Amino acid sequence: MTGRAAQIEEVEDLPEISTIFPEDWSNLLPALAAQYREAKPVPHIYLEGLVDEAAALAASAEFPSPSTAEWTHYQHQNENKHGMAKRQLFPSAIGEVSDALNSKPFLRWLSVLTGIPGLIADPTLEGGGLHQSGRGGFLNVHTDFSHHHYHTNWKRRVNLILYLNPAWEDAWGGSLELWDNRMRHCVAKYPPMLNSAVIFNTDENSYHGFPDPLACPPGVSRQSLAFYYYTLDDGARIASRSTNYRARPTDGVAKSVMIWFDKQAVNLYSRAKARFGFSDEFASRILKKFSRRK
Question: Is 278 part of a structural domain of the chain?
Answer: yes
- Is the Cα dihedral 263, 267, 269, 274 positive or negative? positive
Number of domains in the chain: 1
* CATH code where residue 88 lies: 2.60.120.620
Question: Is 146 part of a structural domain of the chain?
Answer: yes
What is the rounded distance in angstroms from the CA atom of residue 200 to the CA atom of residue 177? 12
Of 127 and 163, more confident: 163
Structural domain that includes position 98? 31-293
Residue 12: which pLDDT band, with cuts at 50, 70 and 90?
very low
What is the CA angle 250-251-256, rounded to 5? 140
The DSSP output letter for 11 is: G
- Give pTM, 2 decimals: 0.87
Worst-scoring range by mean pLDDT, 63-72, 131-140, 154-163?
A: 63-72
Q: What are phi and psi of 212, to 5 degrees?
A: -90, 135
Q: 53-61 vs 92-101: helix axis angle to the nearest 10? A: 130
Q: What are phi and psi of 103, to 5 degrees?
A: -80, 160
Question: Is 233 part of a structural domain of the chain?
Answer: yes
CA–CA distances in Å: residue 183 to residues 46, 208, 230, 268:
21, 10, 25, 24
What is the rounded distance in angstroms from the CA atom of residue 4 to the CA atom of residue 115? 6
Do residues 114 and 206 lie in contact, with contact meaning Cβ atoms separated by under 8 Å? Answer: no
Question: Is 2 part of a structural domain of the chain?
Answer: no
Of 239 and 267, more confident: 267
Question: Is 7 part of a structural domain of the chain?
Answer: no
Question: Is 253 part of a structural domain of the chain?
Answer: yes
Provide CB contacts within 8 A for 214, sequence distance 6+: 133, 134, 135, 136, 137, 138, 172, 173, 174, 222
Mean pLDDT throughout 287-291? Answer: 43
Do residues 256 and 247 lie in contact, with contact meaning Cβ atoms separated by under 8 Å? Answer: yes
pLDDT at 160 over 70: yes
Question: Is 203 part of a structural domain of the chain?
Answer: yes
Q: What is the pLDDT of residue 22?
A: 86
pLDDT at 278 over 90: no
Q: 29-38 vs 104-114: helix axis angle to the nearest 10? A: 50
95-112 pLDDT, tens per residue? 999 999 999 999 999 999
Mean pLDDT throughout 146-161? Answer: 88
pLDDT at 236 over 60: no
Q: What is the pLDDT of residue 294?
A: 38
pLDDT at 202 over 50: yes
What is the rounded distance in angstroms from the CA atom of residue 287 to the CA atom of residue 292? 9
Of 275 and 228, more confident: 228
Q: What is the pLDDT of residue 4?
A: 41
pLDDT at 156 over 90: yes
pLDDT at 237 over 60: no
Of 173 and 126, more confident: 173
Question: Is 50 part of a structural domain of the chain?
Answer: yes
The three-state DSSP-derived secondary structure of 174-212 is: CCEEEECCCCCCEEEEECCCCCEEEEEECCCCCEEEECC
pLDDT at 269 over 90: no
